[in-house]
Amino acid sequence: MSFIAAKIHLFPFRMSSSSPAGSSGISITETVYRQSENMPLKALIYRPAGEGPFPAVVCVHGGAWVAGDRFATQGFAERVAQTGIVVMAIDTRLAPQHPYPAAVADVNCATRWLKHHAAEYGADPLRTGGLGISSGGYLVLLSAMRFDDPRYCQEKPANLPLTALTDARMAFVVTCSGVLDPLARFALAEKNGNLAITLCHRAFFRNPQTMEEANPPLILSRHEKADLPPALFFQGSDDPRLPPDTAAKTAAAWRKAGGRGKAILYPETGHAVGTWRRKELADMLSRLHELASGSLSS
């Protein structure tokens, strides 16, 4: 299988919008949040109707770190914004041209950009978190845990002061079908002969040693320094692309390390929100809004 074929196999669709943009009072603005190597990194910002200030999320698409862009989550982002959350859906640099840690640094940069510009979009910088789908879940989780890691902080938006409101600390983090343990997912793909996934993992991480070092559950088991904002980990029980205990193990490790984390397993549900039924999507949106508003139920 070629690398291009692997991309098409893993990322064959976009989550389309169920309603015309702005039909629910949502305003959508495109912006450049970072100029990277003469390549602008853009974002779509979805602002709910009303004055705010609203909670906010940096939303990161899936695509196995090799595909996807700010448009990939359009319908999902609109649904999130309809609940009263500002959504910043971002582009990230993609492998193989830009391997780890490039995309993690992009999430770090986007978080600081959004917090700095929060007032312009009716957002609350102190209630700004991360929301990621599949490989994007990995990116937001690692960025949240290592928000001040020099490897991810070197790229700064122009003229952005590092104040308490413009660091990359996240107030909460939510993952949907998140590749939370890339080493375990890589091992599963190798066992199942899934060449597309193994190719994409190697394109981004280059080697298993990096998958182990930059691995959220293993960071916790090694007792390394990590920020632990309140977290929700959503996963489908019939997800063929993840070990079935990924979310549960990560949530347990999160709690053991002193954080508040909860895994939600949806029965008979596949990979990523584009395959979820309305019931699961509605439940996820309700829990996300509850968390973003400042509470995490047991």
* pLDDT confidence band for 12 (50 / 70 / 90): very low
User: How far is residue 237's CA from residue 66's CA, in Å, rounded to a whole number?
Assistant: 25
| Least confident among 3-17, 114-128, 214-228 | 3-17
- Asked whether the predicted pLDDT for residue 2 surpasses 80, the reply is no
Does pLDDT of 173 surpass 90? yes
- What are the structural domain ranges in the chain? 3-292
Tell me, what's the pLDDT at 95? Answer: 98
pLDDT of res. 36? 72
pLDDT single digits (tens) 234-245: 999 999 999 999
Q: How confident is the model at residue 77, as a pLDDT?
A: 97
pLDDT of residue 5: 44
Residues in the chain: 298
For the cut 90, the answer to whether the pLDDT of residue 23 exceeds it is: no
- For residue 124, the Cα-to-chain-centroid distance in whole angstroms is 19
Using a pLDDT cut of 70, give the percent of the chain over it: 87
Average pLDDT over residues 76-94: 98
Average pLDDT, the chain: 90
Residues 6+ positions from 101 with CB-CB distance below 8 Å: 151, 152, 214
Vertex 283 angle, CA 254 and 291, to 5°? 45
Mean pLDDT, to the nearest integer, of 117-130? 97
| Ordered DSSP codes for the chain | --HHHHHHHH-------SS-TTTTS-EEEEEEEEEETTEEEEEEEEE-SSS--EEEEEEE--STTTS--TTTTHHHHHHHHHTT-EEEEE----TTTS-TTHHHHHHHHHHHHHHHTGGGGTEEEEEEEEEEETHHHHHHHHHHHTTT-HHHHSS--TT----TTSS---S-EEEES----HHHHHHHHHHHT-HHHHHHHHHHHSSHHHHHHT-HHHHHHTT-------EEEEEETT-TTS-TTHHHHHHHHHHHTT--EEEEEETT--SSGGG--HHHHHHHHHHHHHHHTT----
Instruction: Inform me whether the pLDDT recorded for 159 exceeds 60.
Output: no
- The CATH T-level fold of domain 3-292 is Rossmann fold (3.40.50)
For 17, half-sphere exposure in the C-beta direction (CA atoms, 13 angstrom radius) is 15
The yes-or-no verdict on residue 74 having pLDDT over 60 is yes
pLDDT value at residue 162: 58
**Chain-centre distance for alpha carbon 117:** 20
Instruction: Give the pLDDT confidence score for residue 273 in this predicted structure.
Output: 84
Which pLDDT band, with edges at 50, 70 and 90, does 24 fall under? confident
Q: What integer pLDDT is reported at residue 163 of this predicted model?
A: 61
